[in-house]
Structure 1
């Protein structure tokens, strides 16, 4: 493990919420936090509406790809934030777990995804404030 705190964002498809959260954390933390994301049943690609919503705020997540959730990813993370994957996420003692109740952007238009994006930003900002510095 590195000296930096690490955060893993998990949702079912790793295509919307977790990708936006990873984008926000990468952008806002300025390299102080290791960022991961994964899904219990990853999609083929990131939700294009999530990509567009993030582009509107100057964050490019076009290079992101949905990844399979592994026990190793959980074990290597200090904080695991789940977004609707529930019991599919492995549990390891000593990790901090948070479950963020967020609407799923899948199948939604940009108008519906913007408030989800903004809610994720607010939660990511709170999370950064709570994490110890490296």
Structure 2
């Protein structure tokens, strides 16, 4: 009897999203992020030196803006959803999942019209000027 109750609880928890490790809200992306590295490339249109300049800079996401380095974009609408991103990467960036360092099913933030931000573990992946960058949550200065 106890096993059946435990099985029923686990089934209900997983169906309700309780067991999900991914938070699917736009607000979970908000805040300052530190660009750690280049993950891969889409259609490259700038030099390697220019691409490397973004490493060490910040990505700042709020409900109405997406700032990547010095490029600040006003957002009309933000929606986050977990989706199969293979076709999205090909359509938007002429790139594959390996280029972006992402799994097939990924939480994606559509920051219309500024582009997409992808969840990768505890960090994010952003695209700028032909490259995909991995960023981690910026540490607060106290």
Q: TM-score, normalised by structure 1?
A: 0.27
Specify which structure has the higher proportion of helix. 1
Specify which structure has the higher proportion of strand. 2
Q: Bigger radius of gyration, 1 or 2?
A: 2
Q: TM-score, normalised by structure 2?
A: 0.26
